[in-house]
Amino acid sequence: MSTSAHTTSTEHTAGATGTEKTAATAVRAAPGAVAHLDRGPLTMDELAAVIARDIPDGSYVNLGIGLPTTIADHLSADSGVVLHTENGMLNMGPAAVGDAIDPDLTNAGKVPVTELPGAAYFHHADSFAMMRGGHLDVCVLGAFQVSTAGDLANWHTGGPDDIPAVGGAMDLAIGAKDVYVMTKLFTRTGAPKLVPSCTYPLTGVRCVSRVYTDHATFEITPNGALVQESWGSTAADLAARLDGGIAPG
């Protein structure tokens, strides 16, 4: 699923020759990184399409509650992707409308959905055995923060008035073969969400393989986060804006 250009070696990559911090906190360009400078950052809908494009045909996939759910709208019918919903179904179909709404058939976000031919229902312990047993190919989760080492924080801000609610996030984070994160790269106040080390309570440790954001996509490697593709900025620009990033010379 990764392109062959996605290296995990420590060799210098194009344009990344600046003052180095520890490699684990690095943000830098991957070899062959593509920067789209003729436009601004992606909309969330465009980002959903990018992720859909990268999900290998035929994968068994869980899309997290919220933004990741919109990826389904961009999966082509002939992709053969089978959607898993944690509340007990494989080959989930699109959202239900009108007479197709059945209160007994919802997705993990409690939104009414439909079933596709070949669907299967199962109970919760089986549903989570699919995750925890390593049977799911890909899950896509939202994030409060992701570290350049692949730690994920997406369930609890730790704030005194915040009611913690984890759902299936921790099981997905450790269970799926590939964990993608879908998020804006910066908060409303401009703080990076891709960070050297998460300050929010963790969902999983070193579990994320890719981070998809409006500004860029990142592959998480033993040497940090490598920019694969960016929109509206170069990898160097982004590294400079991200905490702990290397400003390439």
Partner 1 sequence: MSRARVLDTCDEAVAGIEDGSVVLVGGFGFAGMPFDLLDALIRQGATDLTVVSNNAGNGEVGLAGLLKAGRVRKVVCSFPRQADSYVFDELYRSGRVDLEVVPQGNLAERMRAAGAGIGAFFCPTAVGTPLAEGKETRTIDGREHVLEYPIRGDYALISAHRADPMGNLVYRRTARNFGPVMATAAATTVVQVNEVVALGELDPEAVVTPSIYVDRIVPVQARHYTVQGAR
The residues of the shown chain that bind partner 1, judged by CB under 8 A, are 85-89, 101-106, 110-112, 115, 121-125, 127-129, 131-132, 151, 156, 161, 163-171, 174-175, 201-205
Q: Any bridge partners for residue 226, and if so which?
A: 28, 219
- Give the end-to-end CA distance of the chain in Å, rounded to a whole number: 31
Q: Which is nearer to partner 1, 15 or 204 (CB)?
A: 204
Q: Which is nearer to partner 1, 171 or 219 (CB)?
A: 171
CB distance 227 to 216 below 8 Å: yes
161-170 b/e (C-beta count within 10 Å ≥ 16 → b): eeeeeeebbb
HSE-CB at 169 with a 13 A cutoff on CA atoms is 26
Q: Which residues contact 120 (CB under 8 A, 6 or more apart)?
A: 89, 90, 91
Q: Which is nearer to partner 1, 37 or 166 (CB)?
A: 166
Q: Which is nearer to partner 1, 36 or 132 (CB)?
A: 132
How far apart CA 8 and CA 212 sit, in angstroms, is 18
Provide the minimum distance between the beta carbon of 166 and partner 1 in the complex, in angstroms, as a whole number: 5
Residue 20 annotated to the active site: no
Closest alpha carbon to 61 in 35, 83, 89, 94:
83
Provide the minimum distance between the beta carbon of 142 and partner 1 in the complex, in angstroms, as a whole number: 14
Provide the minimum distance between the beta carbon of 165 and partner 1 in the complex, in angstroms, as a whole number: 4
HSE-CB at 47 with a 13 A cutoff on CA atoms is 26
Provide the minimum distance between the beta carbon of 60 and partner 1 in the complex, in angstroms, as a whole number: 16
Provide the minimum distance between the beta carbon of 116 and partner 1 in the complex, in angstroms, as a whole number: 13
Q: Which of 86, 115, 219, 229 is catalytic?
A: 86
How far apart CA 170 and CA 168 sit, in angstroms, is 6
Q: Which is nearer to partner 1, 138 or 170 (CB)?
A: 170
Residues assigned a catalytic role: 86
